[in-house]
Amino acid sequence: MQKIDWENLGFSYRDTNCHIRHSWRNGVWDDGELCASPYLNMHVAAGCLHYGQAAFEGLKAFCCKDGKVRIFRPLDNIRRMAMTARRICMPEVPEELYIKALERVIRANRAFIPPYGTGGSLYIRPLLIGSGVQIGIAPAGEYTFLILVVPVGAYYKGGLHPVKAVIYDDFDRAAPLGVGGIKVAGNYAASLFAHEKAKMEGFAVELYLDAKTHTFVEEFATSNFVGITADGAYVTPESTSILPSITNLTLMELAREQGLDVQARSVRFDELENFSEIGACGTAVVLTPVCSITRGERVIRIGPEQGCGAVFQSLYERVQAIQYSEAPDRYGWCHVVEMDD
Ligand SMILES: Cc1ncc(COP(=O)(O)O)c(C=O)c1O
């Protein structure tokens, strides 16, 4: 194995020892196997390729201060994938099978888990796809569930960096009764064009408003919206077309613990200028502070242009401390992976 430069890992794919793969046929999941090749041999008429039956998840495992390896909130990701599966007519992956698969693939790739102190983690990407042959529009008859892992580095070196966000009124991400509230692959295809445009124009993230009225804030393309009001309330939008972010649930719990008033409610675009901190939250980065939001000619500035507001800084540190077991796991979020086979 090539020596890994733990301090300089980014967030990109690299080969590991293997991924784990389970198949669903005739109504049952098989026992799964560890596959060294990162390629999948698939029929050209597989349902996922034509009709988008594909769900994925993103979670992380950490090498902790006590040397143990822990997965952060795996049951929440498992249940969210089950919700996605139901909505797009795929079989759910049973929780016990899922947890075992996570443990097996992590154990088999233990050499790729960034050591404690490097700020890195093992990013885990479960994928559930309709792999059966399906030429008429209908759910596929067979499914493949796989989990791949990738070591990733600390996103922030030397503190949280704020980014610029943009709202485009000519693109929507998710319809009110569509599939924005689940993690189906097509949602990301739907947002690629706007994302490339944003990057070209110098913005790191796009913020979406509700598709029906463009009045209410929904979420960023790959992360939830969080705002801190001038009087210290934690506000996050509530809508059927927002993905329920597990990081957001974590932050809400920790914000309550710090005595903040946590409000999950409709957030009008007009309110944005009243927030003292705005951030994008998700597994990859935990929290990215946003220093400005541009909509056409209008630019709303929030918080410091350098660094990060005090509330986000403290929430970010709390999450990281729990993930690396530097602080007690009062909520039972961390799942220890026994490393003996
Ligand atoms: C659309 C969208 N919103 C929010 C999130 C953040 O969710 P989580 O905190 O579970 O990573 C993600 C990432 O999974 C996402 O793709």
Q: What is the structure's pLDDT at 160?
A: 83
Looking at the CA of residue 77, tell me the nearest atom of ligand 1.
Answer: 10
Ligand 1 test: best mutation among 84, 283, 316, most atoms within 8 Å of CB?
283
Mean pLDDT to the nearest integer, 49-71? 98
Please give the structure tokens belonging to residue 182.
Answer: 């689940």
Is residue 222's pLDDT more than 90?
Answer: yes
Beta bridge partners of 207: 220
Please give the structure tokens belonging to residue 270.
Answer: 């007009």
Looking at the CA of residue 221, tell me the nearest atom of ligand 1.
Answer: 1
The larger pLDDT score, comparing residue 34 to residue 155, is at 34
Mean pLDDT of the chain: 96
pLDDT tens string 166-204 = 999 999 999 999 999 999 999 999 999 999 999 999 999
| Ranges 26-30, 186-190, 225-229, 301-305: which has the least confidence | 301-305
Q: Is 183 a residue of the active site?
A: yes
The answer to whether the CB of 223 is under 6 A from ligand 1 is yes
Q: CA-CA distance, 242 to 220, in Å (whole number)?
A: 9
Whether pTM > 0.95 for this model: the answer is: yes
Please give the structure tokens belonging to residue 171.
Answer: 């693109």
The answer to whether the CB of 191 is under 6 A from ligand 1 is no
Q: What is the structure's pLDDT at 305?
A: 72
Is residue 337's pLDDT more than 90?
Answer: yes
Q: What is the structure's pLDDT at 154?
A: 81
Beta bridge partners of 21: 33, 146
Q: What is the structure's pLDDT at 158?
A: 65
Is residue 94's pLDDT more than 90?
Answer: yes
Is residue 156's pLDDT more than 80?
Answer: no
pLDDT band for position 37 (50/70/90)?
A: very high
SS3 25: strand
Is residue 56's pLDDT more than 80?
Answer: yes
Helix ranges (H only) for 90-218 are 95-108, 186-200
pLDDT tens string 302-325 = 987 777 899 999 999 999 999 999
Is residue 157's pLDDT more than 80?
Answer: no
Q: What is the structure's pLDDT at 7?
A: 87
Q: How far is the CA of 43 from the centre of ligand 1 (A)?
A: 30
| Ranges 42-56, 128-142, 176-190, 294-308: which has the least confidence | 294-308
The answer to whether the CB of 219 is under 6 A from ligand 1 is yes
pLDDT band for position 165 (50/70/90)?
A: very high
Q: How far is the CA of 186 from the centre of ligand 1 (A)?
A: 14
Give the whole-number percent of the chain exceeding pLDDT 90: 93
Domains and CATH numbers, the chain: 6-152 (3.30.470.10), 163-322 (3.20.10.10)
The answer to whether the CB of 46 is under 6 A from ligand 1 is no
Q: What is the structure's pLDDT at 303?
A: 81
Q: How far is the CA of 164 from the centre of ligand 1 (A)?
A: 19
Q: What is the structure's pLDDT at 340?
A: 80
Helix or strand (DSSP H, E) at 194: helix 186-200
Q: How far is the CA of 340 from the centre of ligand 1 (A)?
A: 32
Q: What is the structure's pLDDT at 232?
A: 94
Long-range contacts of 49-53 (CB under 8 A, 24+ apart): 50/134, 50/135, 51/130, 51/134, 51/137, 52/88, 52/184, 52/185, 52/186, 53/88, 53/89, 53/90, 53/129, 53/130, 53/139, 53/140
Q: CA-CA distance, 327 to 81, in Å (whole number)?
A: 28
The answer to whether the CB of 325 is under 6 A from ligand 1 is no
The answer to whether the CB of 224 is under 6 A from ligand 1 is yes
Q: What is the structure's pLDDT at 155?
A: 74
Query: Which of 68, 100, 164, 183 is labelled catalytic?
Result: 183
The answer to whether the CB of 288 is under 6 A from ligand 1 is no
Q: How far is the CA of 181 from the centre of ligand 1 (A)?
A: 10
